[in-house]
A and B are shown apart, each in its own frame.
Chain A
Amino acid sequence: MTQPSRRVALKVLGGTLGASAFAHAMEPLRAWSKDLSLDQFLQRHYKELTRDEIGEVIHRHEQQTREEYGREVTIRDVRPQEGVQFGYALSLSVCIGCRKCVEACHVENNHDRRTNNSYIRVLEMEQGSFDMEKGNATYEHAVPAKGKYYLPVQCQQCDNAPCVSVCPVQATWKEPDGIVAVDYDWCIGCRYCEAACPYHARRFNWTKPEIPADEINPDQGYLSNRIRPQGVVEKCTFCLHRTREGRMPACLEACPTGARVFGNLLDPGSELRWVLENKRIFVLKEELGTRPRFFYFFDV
Chain B
Amino acid sequence: MRKDTHAITYPRFLLRVIGQSFEGSWRFYLWMTVLTAIALVGANAWAHQLAEGMQVTGMSDHVSWGLYIANFTFGVGLAAGAVMMVIPAYLYDDHEMHDVVILGELLAIAAIVVCLLFIVADMGRPDRFWHILPGIGRFNWPISMLTWDVIVLNGYLLINLHISGYLIYTRYLGRKPDRRWYLPFVFLSIGWAVSIHTVTAFLYSGLGGRPFWNSALLAPRFIASAFITGPAFVILLLQLVARLTRFRVGDGPIRTLTSVLRVTVLLNLFMLGSELFTSLYTGGTHGAAVTYLFFGLHGKAALVPWIWSAVALNVASAAILHLPASRRSRAWLDAACVAAFAGVWIEKGMGLIIPGFVPSTLHEIVEYAPSMAEWKITAGIWAVGLMVLTIAIKVALTVLTGELSVEPRGRADRAGTAERAGEPAAAEGS
Contacts and interface: CB of A to CB of B under 8 A. Distances in A.
A193 B119 CA distance: 15
Contact of B61 (A27, A45, A132, A194): A194
B125 A231 contact: yes
Interface stretch (A84-92, A167-175, A269-277): A167-175
A69 interface: no
Nearest to A41: B127
A26 B156 CA distance: 30
Contact of B125 (A28, A167, A188, A208): A188
Nearest to B209: A198
A169 B139 contact: yes
Interface residues of B, number: 61
Name the residue among A123, A131, A168, A199 with the largest chain B CB count within 10 angstroms: A168
B140 interface: yes
Interface string B381-418: 00000000000000000000000000000000000000
Contact of A197 (B53, B144, B361): B361
Contacts of A189: 54, 123-125, 128
Contact of A162 (B125, B139, B209): B209
Contact of A206 (B54, B206, B208): B54
A297 interface: no
Nearest to A15: B22
A170 B140 contact: yes
A192 B36 CA distance: 31
B327 interface: no
Contacts of B60: 206
A10 B59 CA distance: 43
Most A CB contacts (10 A, CB to CB) among B51, B143, B145 go to B51
Given A18-B36, A230-B124, A29 B51 contact: yes
A54 interface: no
B255 interface: no
B194 to A, nearest CB: 22
A29 B140 CA distance: 30
Interface stretch (B41-49, B161-169, B343-351): B41-49
B117 to A, nearest CB: 14
Interface in A5-58: 11, 14, 18, 21-22, 24-29, 31-32, 36, 41, 45
B131 interface: yes
Given A131-B285, A186-B128, A230-B124, A191 B363 contact: no
A204 B208 CA distance: 21
A289 interface: yes
A266 to B, nearest CB: 27
B153 interface: no
A205 B60 CA distance: 10
B208 A288 contact: yes
Contacts of A233: 124
B129 interface: yes
Contacts of B203: 192
A133 interface: yes
A110 to B, nearest CB: 17
A119 to B, nearest CB: 11
A289 B208 contact: yes
B61 A204 contact: yes
A167 B61 contact: no
A191 B208 contact: no
A135 B362 contact: yes
Nearest to B380: A25
A236 to B, nearest CB: 13
Interface in A177-209: 186-192, 194-200, 202-208
Given A28-B51, A188-B132, A195 B207 contact: yes
Best-surrounded residue of A22, A24, A188 (most CB of chain B within 10 A): A188
Interface stretch (B229-237, B241-249, B352-360): B352-360
Nearest to B147: A168
Given A165-B143, A189-B125, A207 B362 contact: no
A204 B123 CA distance: 11
A288 B124 CA distance: 28
B44 A200 contact: no
B161 to A, nearest CB: 23
A226 to B, nearest CB: 17
Interface in B9-63: 22, 29, 33, 36, 40-41, 43-44, 47-48, 50-55, 57, 59-62
A133 B283 CA distance: 13
B143 A188 contact: no
Contacts of A206: 53-55, 57, 59-60
B53 A231 contact: yes
A12 B43 CA distance: 22
A100 interface: no
B64 A288 contact: no
B208 to A, nearest CB: 4
B367 interface: no
B138 interface: yes
B53 A137 contact: no
Nearest to A187: B125
A132 B124 contact: no
A200 B208 contact: no
A207 B52 contact: yes
B127 to A, nearest CB: 6
A91 to B, nearest CB: 20
A132 B361 CA distance: 9
B146 interface: yes
B48 A28 contact: yes
30 contacts: A21-B40, A22-B43, A29-B51, A31-B51, A137-B364, A162-B207, A165-B144, A166-B145, A167-B140, A168-B132, A169-B140, A170-B140, A187-B125, A188-B123, A190-B123, A190-B146, A191-B64, A192-B146, A194-B61, A195-B65, A195-B356, A199-B362, A200-B361, A202-B61, A204-B54, A206-B53, A207-B52, A230-B53, A231-B124, A288-B208
Given A11-B22, A204-B54, A232-B125, 6 more contacts: A14-B29, A27-B47, A28-B50, A169-B138, A203-B61, A206-B57
Interface of A: 11, 14, 18, 21-22, 24-29, 31-32, 36, 41, 45, 121, 123, 131-133, 135, 137-138, 153, 162, 165-171, 186-192, 194-200, 202-208, 229-233, 285, 288-290
Q: List the 8 closest pairs (A to B, CB-CB), nearest first.
A: A189-B124, A198-B209, A231-B124, A207-B53, A25-B44, A168-B146, A132-B363, A32-B51
